């Protein structure tokens, strides 16, 4: 099994481009954000706990997302691999993912990092808010908190995976989705050569 990680700040296009990679490479796309929003919509205990944190732009506890991911690793096997979107987001999650995979005799294949400047995050998310109606996309304060959280807690993963030679970056700042998708698909081809 392959284990790819879609990495980047909020609004970089992780979910959008993950769908293209999923279809082309027969991968299971796991977005922890989407899984959490499904729990919220279903009104589960986990969803209720997650809702308050997500609406403020804070991360949910590591253990919460790790359990959701592990459950899918244990039950999904009709694919070539997994495309993790929005996970891991902390060094703790990255270390736990390594452990989870080592127990299965597996390891992270590559990190596909989509880079956009902070100014672009605000504009992209404001555009998305109108389409998707996410509560955490509607407020500039919440968006800024997510950007700050990304820099403080998620960015250190760049060094973590670079040291392992698994970090691959692409500029995802082109004006059209098609151009950015072409860049991501090009990077993926290079990774798999
Ligand atoms: P975006 O693409 O804007 O980053 P996501 O859908 O990936 O949005 O995540 C939405 C929210 O869900 C995050 O702001 C965070 O509160 C929560 N979340 C998602 N993934 C994780 C994770 N791996 N660890 C902790 N919290 C997470």
Residues 87-114 have pLDDT tens digits of 999 999 999 999 999 999 999 999 999 9
Q: 29 CA to middle of ligand 1, Å?
A: 15
- State which residues form the domain around 98: 2-191
Mutate to test the pocket of ligand 1, among 9, 33, 89 (most ligand atoms within 8 A of CB): 33
- Which residues have C-beta atoms less than 6 Å from ligand 1? 10-11, 14, 31-33, 36, 53-54, 57-60, 65, 86-87, 89, 93, 136, 146
Q: 117 CA to middle of ligand 1, Å?
A: 18
pTM: 0.96
DSSP states along 83-129: EEES---SHHHHHHHHHHHHTTT----EEEEEE--HHHHHHHHHHHH
pLDDT of amino acid 49? 97
Under 8 Å between Cβ of 36 and 47: yes
pLDDT of amino acid 172? 96
Three-state secondary-structure class, residue 3: strand
Structural domains of the chain, count = 1
> CATH number, domain at 162?
3.40.50.300
CA dist 54 and 138 (Å) reads: 12
pLDDT of amino acid 22? 97
* Alpha-helical segments (H) within the chain: 14-25, 32-42, 45-56, 62-75, 91-102, 118-132, 140-149, 156-163, 177-191
Return the closest-CA partner of residue 167 out of 115, 118, 100.
115
Q: With a cut of 50, which residues of the chain have pLDDT below it? A: none
CA dist 87 and 65 (Å) reads: 8
């Amino acid at each position: 099994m392959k284990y790819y990680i879609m990495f980047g700040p909020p609004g970089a296009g992780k979910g959008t481009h993950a769908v293209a990679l999923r279809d082309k490479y027969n991968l299971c796309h796991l977005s922890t954000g989407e899984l959490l929003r499904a729990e919220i919509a279903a009104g589960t205990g986990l969803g209720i706990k997650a809702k308050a944190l997500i609406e403020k732009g804070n991360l949910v506890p590591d253990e919460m997302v790790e359990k959701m991911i592990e459950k899918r690793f244990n039950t999904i096997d009709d694919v070539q691999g997994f495309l993790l979107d929005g996970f891991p987001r902390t060094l703790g999650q990255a270390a736990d993912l390594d452990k989870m995979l080592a127990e299965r005799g597996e390891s992270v294949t590559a990190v596909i990092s989509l880079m956009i400047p902070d100014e672009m995050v605000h504009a992209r998310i404001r555009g998305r808010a109108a389409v998707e109606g996410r509560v955490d996309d509607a407020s500039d304060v919440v968006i800024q908190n997510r950007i700050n959280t990304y820099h403080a807690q998620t960015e250190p993963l760049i060094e973590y995976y670079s040291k392992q030679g698994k970090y691959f970056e692409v500029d995802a700042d082109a004006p059209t989705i098609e151009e950015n998708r072409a860049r991501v698909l090009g990077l993926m081809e290079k990774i798999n050569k």
